[in-house]
Amino acid sequence: MPRVLYIDDDEGLRTLTRRALRRRGYEVTTAASADDGMALLDEDRFDLVAIDHYMPGKNGLEALAMIGALDAPPPVVYVTGSEETQVAVAALKAGAADYVVKTVGEDFFDLLASSFEQALERRALLAAKDEAERALRASNERLAALLKEANHRVANSLQIVGAFVQMQAASVTSEEAKIALKDTHQRITAIGQVHRRLYTSDDIETVDMAEYLGSFIAELEATWSTPGSPRLIRLVADNLRLATDKAVSVGVIVNELVGNACKYAYGAGESGEIRVFLSSENGAFRLRVEDDGRGFDPANSPKGTGIGTKLIRAMAMSLKAEIDYGLGPAMQVSVRAPL
């Protein structure tokens, strides 16, 4: 049975209201003033409060403000006279759940009980909504934690696989096999870097591309530079975040283009610069890799195994990207894809 506190200075109406609402399924406690009502609220818990506007001492609006300041205030139904529309509006603006016009007779008690029922239903719906939101937040937090752990494990596994590939490269004697394993290791690194950033970042859905490419390109520069043939790789990147799958595709493309430039753009003993640009433009992003080397013709047969070219095409397809091979004395490859 819902517990109601009814505050009204009219003793006779308080008695009638208590009896009428009891017949309608409510347990009613009454108070003659705002201060008496607040004392009862301090001592006990009520599901709902009804307040008359005109009372000795503090009026109904002042009592409404005092109730609203409680830690967990119950819903309040405001009781006004028939000509007091402005008072009713002021009460609703101050936080009342509803208002009922005071009249003489059973109609008043029916309206009061109906208003109580609606106020309690709204309160129950809000409580259910809050509980559902709390459960959803908790579920999202658990899923985020699981996803971070999954990314952590994937990154660690890829690091182990990369180490195995390096060990294999160190044990083979064929220069062609060494280069192929070196390429494989860099492809693994490109993907592992993405997962490493996902489990160390608060954002588990997107990757900061400037940060990711900056770190990855530093590894590429160290990998492909030799004492006799240094390679300088320069990055210019806009502040851009991409979804995880897009970041992986971009990383693989950068790895293949930069690796090809490091291997084929400059001769043995030559130093050379490779430049990587990433920019956003009109709902899309553009990746451009260029060097000052010998240039190449994409129509010619690949100098290596051709796997790199196939990977670039596959990653571009996953990005729904267009590839533009600039023809000229040096290499320039541009990839444009929707954000």
pLDDT for the residue 175: 80
Closest CA to 321 of 336, 309, 339: 336
- Which residues are CB-contacts of 202 (< 8 A; sequence separation ≥ 6)? none
Res. 304 pLDDT band, cuts 50 70 90 = low
Closest CA to 1 of 58, 46, 32, 40: 46
pLDDT for the residue 300: 62
Which range has highest mean pLDDT (28-32, 158-162, 200-204)? 28-32
Residue entry with tokens 């975040």: 241
pLDDT for the residue 190: 80
Closest CA to 33 of 3, 4, 12, 53: 53
**202 burial class (0-12, 13-18, 19+ CB within 10 angstroms)?**
exposed
pLDDT for the residue 23: 92
**257 burial class (0-12, 13-18, 19+ CB within 10 angstroms)?**
buried
Range in 24-38, 110-124, 208-222, 324-338 with the lowest mean pLDDT: 324-338
Q: Is 24 helix (H, G, I), strand (E, B) or coil?
A: coil
pLDDT in tens, 109-123: 888 899 999 989 998
Cα–Cα dist 233/186, whole Å:
15
Buried b (16+ CB within 10 A) or exposed e, 113-129: bebbeebbeeeeeeeee
* pLDDT higher than 60, residue 302: no
pLDDT for the residue 82: 63
Q: Is 291 helix (H, G, I), strand (E, B) or coil?
A: strand
Mean pLDDT of the chain: 85
- Which residues are CB-contacts of 231 (< 8 A; sequence separation ≥ 6)? 221, 224, 225, 262, 266, 271, 272, 273, 274
Mean pLDDT calculated for residue range 17-26: 91
Res. 267 pLDDT band, cuts 50 70 90 = confident
Res. 13 pLDDT band, cuts 50 70 90 = confident
* pLDDT higher than 80, residue 15: yes
pLDDT in tens, 74-110: 999 998 876 778 888 888 888 888 888 888 788 888 8
Rounded percentage of the chain residues whose pLDDT exceeds 70: 95
pLDDT for the residue 91: 87
Q: Which domains are seen in the chain, by residue range?
A: 3-102 (3.40.50.2300), 205-339 (3.30.565.10)
Mean pLDDT calculated for residue range 185-204: 79
pLDDT in tens, 37-74: 999 998 899 999 999 988 888 898 998 899 988 888 99
pLDDT in tens, 132-162: 999 999 998 888 888 778 878 888 888 888 8
pLDDT in tens, 318-334: 999 998 887 666 778 88
0.75 cut: is pTM over it? Answer: no
Cα–Cα dist 196/78, whole Å:
58
* End-to-end CA gap in the chain: 57
